């Protein structure tokens, strides 16, 4: 990793963390897409997890007063269950599959509520959210749309949604780092230094995004989330199809 690439990575971390601070998930999608151009799949997922752990951790801290701890605990139980299952299956990701799965995830945000009414505030829905979101996060590196499917229809306000999802993603990213730890052995000390240096940029971006979030209405927040994630998903889907071809 050259000095120029490292500097560009820091800027990307700031901007994607700001995006996540506003919408709760889009930043991780963009960051992973960029890392997949630079690193092997497993390594990219682990590095994205390390950076997003800081970004989500700071976002959870800033909005800690709004975290729904009951929902978080149930989601964590679902994540642990999914992680054990993937470990038993000895799952290994490949780039085309990762891109196609991520590209298809935004479809979940457009399913009419009358077809599939999910609500993370309900205990059994929260467990399924943790199982699906945690499993997909481990399998392909991100799971924002899957998790958002359970939150975008909940009666929680935008601050509780962002805070609870951020706390859940802290747990998800920690699990992802552990799951792909062996893949990080290809990184040099200099590259790990760049990742560590990205931490304050992630916190600064999250802080800027949180400031913007307070000025959005609930209606605008939910509609923009759908449109933004769908646009990013289309990019991933096209890339995955080209990789298969």
Please give the share of the chain, as a percent, with pLDDT higher than 70.
Answer: 93
Looking at residue 219, what is its pLDDT?
A: 62
CA distances 101 to 96, 98, 107, 228, 242, Å, are 9, 5, 11, 17, 14
pTM of the predicted structure, to 2 decimals: 0.81
Looking at residue 74, what is its pLDDT?
A: 95
For 190-208, what is each residue's pLDDT tens digit?
Answer: 778 888 888 788 778 877 8
How many Cβ atoms sit within 10 Å of the Cβ of residue 71?
A: 28
Looking at residue 78, what is its pLDDT?
A: 94
- Angle subtended by helix axes 218-244 and 3-23, to nearest 10: 140
Domain count, the chain: 1
Task: Over range 48-67, report the average pLDDT.
Answer: 83
For 226-242, what is each residue's pLDDT tens digit?
Answer: 788 888 889 899 999 99
Give me the helices (H) in 24-157, please: 26-38, 41-62, 69-89, 95-104, 123-140, 144-151
Residue among 34, 41, 37 at smallest CA distance from 9: 34
Looking at residue 15, what is its pLDDT?
A: 85
Alpha-carbon distance 216 to 213, whole Å? 5
SS3 for 196? Answer: helix
For 214-227, what is each residue's pLDDT tens digit?
Answer: 776 666 666 777 78
For 178-192, what is each residue's pLDDT tens digit?
Answer: 899 888 888 887 778
Question: Which residues form the domain of 153?
Answer: 3-244
């Amino acid at each position: 990793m050259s000095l120029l690439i490292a500097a560009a990575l820091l800027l990307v971390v700031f901007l994607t963390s700001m995006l996540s601070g506003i919408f709760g998930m889009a930043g991780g999608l963009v960051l992973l897409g960029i890392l997949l151009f630079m690193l092997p799949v497993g390594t990219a997922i682990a590095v994205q997890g390390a950076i997003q752990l800081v970004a989500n951790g700071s976002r959870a801290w800033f909005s800690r007063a709004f975290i729904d701890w009951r929902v978080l605990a149930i989601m964590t139980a679902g994540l642990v269950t999914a992680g054990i299952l993937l470990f038993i299956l000895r799952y290994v990701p490949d780039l085309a599959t990762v891109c196609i799965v991520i590209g298809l995830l935004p479809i979940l945000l457009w399913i009419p509520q009358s077809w599939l009414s999910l609500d993370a505030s309900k205990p059994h829905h929260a467990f399924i959210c943790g199982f699906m979101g945690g499993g997909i996060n481990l399998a392909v590196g991100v799971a924002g749309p899957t998790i958002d499917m359970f939150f975008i229809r909940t009666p929680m306000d935008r601050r509780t949604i962002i805070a609870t999802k951020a706390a859940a993603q802290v747990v998800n990213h920690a699990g992802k780092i552990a799951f792909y730890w062996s893949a990080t052995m290809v990184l040099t000390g200099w590259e790990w230094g760049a990742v560590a240096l990205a931490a304050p940029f992630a916190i600064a971006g999250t802080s800027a995004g949180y400031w913007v979030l307070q000025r959005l209405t609930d209606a605008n927040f939910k509609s923009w989330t759908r449109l933004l994630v769908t646009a990013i998903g289309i990019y991933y889907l096209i890339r995955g199809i080209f990789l298969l071809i």
